[in-house]
Structure 1
Amino acid sequence: MTHPAPTAPPPGERAVRRRLTTEIWIVLGLSLGRSGVYAVVNIVARLTEGTPLGDQSTTLNPSYSPRPLLDLTYQLLAIGFALMPVALALYLLSANGRSAVRRIGLDGRQPWKDLLTGVGLAALIGIPGLGLYALGRVLGITVEVQAAGLDAVWWTIPVLILSALQNALLEEVVAVGYLMERLRELRWSAPAIVVTSALLRGSYHLYQGWGAFLGNAVMGVVFAEYYRRRRRVMPLVVAHTIMDVVVFVGYALIPADVRGALGLS
């Protein structure tokens, strides 16, 4: 007669909380938390190098090679690998058998509503954001941001659009959907969850200066509060993608001499 193998007792609440906390640190350490740490070091370096912050610059979407096809390969690889933390976060959120994309509202159940809401959020955040960037430049607390460092080749615009989508998925899935779900499971209060998500978003933009930190933290509060109320991350992805496409592609389409006259390069 065979006896059934003994089953391990279910983990206690303390063990579950400890495991979830460790999981959060691992996910953030592989993605936006890592970026936040580097951004803090970067802003310290900028503030101590002797050049005023307003006279410094940073380049988004830089070129990786002067050879166009090799550069395209590097760009696509960078975008693809940058999305791996998104896949990890969704995988972990689906551990109980529930669809992670449905859990955080990353599905296509409400396409038109998500699109309209995303456009509205993009306008609500994007337009004041440009004004805040301009004010930060005037006050000297924001570095000059060159939004696209790619050469003008046939694949430039599609890659910039893909880069915008990658940024949106990474930030909204990890900093909003994943993080807020996990902190809710840890029984954090709603204000603490919203503030934590917003500060994380601001932290990894610190390399652009204090104005970018403030603007993105405010954006983080709005996006986190929307998610807390609606539990849908798709409109946030739409809004973020729209804002980045406007900035990246718009910058790339402006002739270099015009950008120079406007003080953008």
Structure 2
Amino acid sequence: MLVPSRRRLRLEVWIVLGLSLGQSAVYSVVQLLVKMTKAPLAQGTSTLNRSQSTREYFDLTYQLLDIIFALVPVVLVIYFLAEHRATAFGKLGFNFARPGNDLLQGLGLAALIGIPSLGLYAAGRALGITTAIIPSALDSYWWTVPVLILSAVRHGIVEEVIVVGYLLDRLGKLGWSMPLAIFASSMLRGSYHLYQGFGPFIGNALMGVVFALVYTRTRRVMPLVIAHALLDTVAFVGFSLFGKSIGLG
């Protein structure tokens, strides 16, 4: 199989990011500017899972469509990373080859990131650099919790496969050093959380560094997906059930 040229790889990366989290980062910066020019950040709010219709089953339809279409860039990445006699799933470690180890590592990472995230959220609110985060504003239906769990899994897959597995691979092939690639990956992760304020930017950038370092050692993205999905599930479902603001990893 022919090795793509650097020019082709750069174009590929811009296409993937433009269709996914790079686009989210641009919108996030604009949303941050809107909030900052309207009122102090401490008075702003950031709602992560919104109802999209007052009619129950149309809202469910919209929620599921959002989840499905958000995963399309992941399919594109899997296609780009596929090589002769080697699947992208194996290359990224995005499979069930080591379920026990992946689960244990995911649980450990979730604990490592989750507890400090709550502290960073509280500190950011106290300093006035973080908006109030509302993890879920969905109405209470029979499908609310399952959809929130699916949304959490979606975030875990999209972010970890693209920002860690794919981006580190492509930046490495473009000649970037590993420290520089990790820095770029973590800054991207932080930037698409900027709409929540500067606290979540810092917290998610640090999380990006930790996740990228773990990936460079294990070459498996699955533990990162598990950890991220667990963090978001606790935040989304916990808020939906108990109505308390929770800092996100």
What's the TM-score, normalizing by structure 1? 0.90
Conserved? CA contact 2:25–2:191, under 8 Å: yes
Deviations, residues 155-200 of structure 1 (Å, cap 9, x unaligned): 0000000000000000000000111111111121010011011001
Structure 1 residues 77 and 227: alpha-carbon distance in aligned structure 2, compared to 1, 3 A threshold: same
Shift of 1:96: 3.8
- After TM superposition, the structure 1 = structure 2 runs for residues 39-50 of structure 1, keeping only pairs within 5 Å, are 39-49=28-38
**Pairing 1:74–2:57 present:** no
Q: Which residue of 1 aligns with 2:198?
A: 210
Deviations, residues 25-63 of structure 1 (Å, cap 9, x unaligned): 0000000000001111111121122x1100110111100
Match of 1:93 among 81, 86, 91: 81
Deviations, residues 215-245 of structure 1 (Å, cap 9, x unaligned): 0000000001111121100000000000000
SS in 1 for 2:140: coil
Query: RMSD in angstroms over aligned alpha carbons?
Result: 1.7
Match of 2:27 among 25, 38, 47: 38
Task: Give 2:123's aligned amino acid.
Answer: L
Deviations, residues 80-135 of structure 1 (Å, cap 9, x unaligned): 00000011001110044420000010011110000000000000001100110011
Conserved? CA contact 2:239–2:246, under 8 Å: no
Q: Which residue of 1 aligns with 2:232?
A: 244
Q: Which residue of 1 aligns with 2:10?
A: 21
Q: For the pair shown, which has the larger CA radius of gyration, 1 or 2?
A: 1
- After TM superposition, the structure 1 = structure 2 runs for residues 159-174 of structure 1, keeping only pairs within 5 Å, are 159-174=147-162
SS in 1 for 2:133: strand
What is the CA–CA distance in structure 1 between the aligned matches of 2:15 and 2:155, rounded to whole Å? 19
SS in 2 for 1:58: strand
What is the CA–CA distance in structure 2 between the aligned matches of 1:263 and 1:172, rounded to whole Å? 21
Task: Give 1:33's aligned amino acid.
Answer: G
**Pairing 1:114–2:102 present:** yes
Q: Which residue of 1 aligns with 2:182?
A: 194
What's the TM-score, normalizing by structure 2? 0.96
Conserved? CA contact 2:118–2:246, under 8 Å: no
Structure 1 residues 203 and 104: alpha-carbon distance in aligned structure 2, compared to 1, 3 A threshold: same
SS in 2 for 1:243: helix
Q: How many residues align?
A: 247
